[in-house]
Amino acid sequence: MAVSPLEGRYKTEMNELFDEEAKLASRLEVEVALAYAHAELKNIPVEAAEEIASAAKKVSLKRVDEIEAEIHHDLMAMVKALSENCKKYGGYVHYGATSYDIEDTATALLLKRALGLVRKRLLETQGILKRHAQQHKETVCIARTHGQHAVPTTYGMKFALWFAEIGRHLERLEQAEKTISVGKMSGAAGTMATFQGKGTKIQGLVMKRLGLEPAPITNQVIQRDRHAQVLFALALIASTLEKIAKEIRNLQRTEIMEVAEPFASKQVGSSTMPQKRNPHKSERVCSLARLVRANVAVALENIALEHERDLTNSANERFIFAQSFILTDYMLKETNKILSGLEFFPENIARNLELTGGAVMAEKIMIELTERGMGRQEAHELMRRCSLEAFKNKKKLIEVLKEQEEVRKFIPVGELEKMFNPRNYIGEAVQIVERVVGK
């Protein structure tokens, strides 16, 4: 029976990259590459490398687990299982290598492949955001700062902002993949002593076969700043997904209700309140982002290993790599579903735009007064006083302004009325969106 929700509720295609079968396959892949490197340098017969490659296909996870139960060393259990499947050349398995030559290089393969899946999801997210930005570049709504109505903006601006942020994450992923796509074949302390002068060549041949870069220098392990960078990139992605989900949650509040995450016809919002339409998918995204971010702290702790290495990173890495990647992948899938089915309520968008009785146009009028000769600070103070008066007396701002001789002196009443259309005060929003996501 599964204990972790990663094996059920939050399971994605990412699980297949981090399950025990995948880990074993990656380790065997490195062992085979090592054998072929030795053969190319004539350290072992070509037939030995071919036999090891053939034997690798016969190694079972069950047998590896049986051996580990006896010897209490997971990597050596794999070496023994591989060796016993060789009829003649089993003695050349793992020749000259230490455990983390295999482990860290195999991990690099796993993380590189996992980053590829994250990139695929991110591109889907970016595509959905682009469509929304284009479709809603002229959908005027109220902007909110400090939780208060500010000035008019457009929904296209919201989506284009997120689109651009996803673009930066794609750049970070590219850098993270480059950083982590390195392997080592350098022995117990990084000196390559066991390879008797051929270490650099062996390492280069192994990594070329695996599609990785050879680490320029290591001790017993590849340095953990590389792994921390990968998890930090995932944490940044998770934080952006939380940002998107939090905005949707807030805009779905009953008293706002401008947009809402999709809600199935038979979906239940509450076990006791039948009317509820809770944004639980968005809330789930926000919740999981905290876990992904928390794992970065663990990855940072792993950087400062003692001397040429200790084992304090090993146990926690069995959690943080798989957990961070699987949760990020799940969050991306959920976010893509939410955004794809996002429901808009135009009447509420329009209602909220007018909710303050035109007070959100105070900046516009202040600028107009300044343009027509009033001092900027004087105009600001005038609009501040008028806005407070309108709020206190529950009047529309334009009604208060019409009574002000100071205002009428610069702006005729007829012109003033035209200035209170929020749709005429979105600046270059449409052009900004088009510049960011394309027309």
Which residues are the active-site residues? 146, 270
In what helix (H) or strand (E) does residue 217 lie, and over which residues does it extend? Answer: none
Q: CA dist 362 to 319, 356, 357, Å?
A: 54, 11, 11
Tokens at residue 364, please? 């516009």
Q: CA dist 331 to 18, 19, 238, Å?
A: 17, 19, 7
Q: Token pair 């195999």 is at which residue?
A: 106
The rounded distance, in Å, linking the Cα atoms of 220 and 98 is 8
Q: List the one residue out of 367, 370, 357, 364 whose CA is nearest residue 399.
A: 357
Beta-carbon contacts of 115 under 8 Å, excluding residues fewer than 6 positions away, are 173, 176, 177, 180, 230
Residue 225's identity, in one-letter code, is D
The rounded distance, in Å, linking the Cα atoms of 26 and 19 is 11
Tokens at residue 288, please? 């999981």
The rounded distance, in Å, linking the Cα atoms of 304 and 375 is 60
Torsional sign, CA 65, 66, 67, 69: positive
Backbone angles phi, psi at 315, to 5 degrees: -65, -45
The distance from CA 364 to its chain's CA centroid, rounded to whole angstroms, is: 38
The rounded distance, in Å, linking the Cα atoms of 421 and 415 is 11
Q: List the one residue out of 244, 439, 228 whose CA is nearest residue 321.
A: 228
The rounded distance, in Å, linking the Cα atoms of 286 and 431 is 31
Residue 293's identity, in one-letter code, is R
Helix ranges (H only) for 41-187 are 46-56, 61-71, 74-84, 99-135, 155-180
The rounded distance, in Å, linking the Cα atoms of 41 and 48 is 13
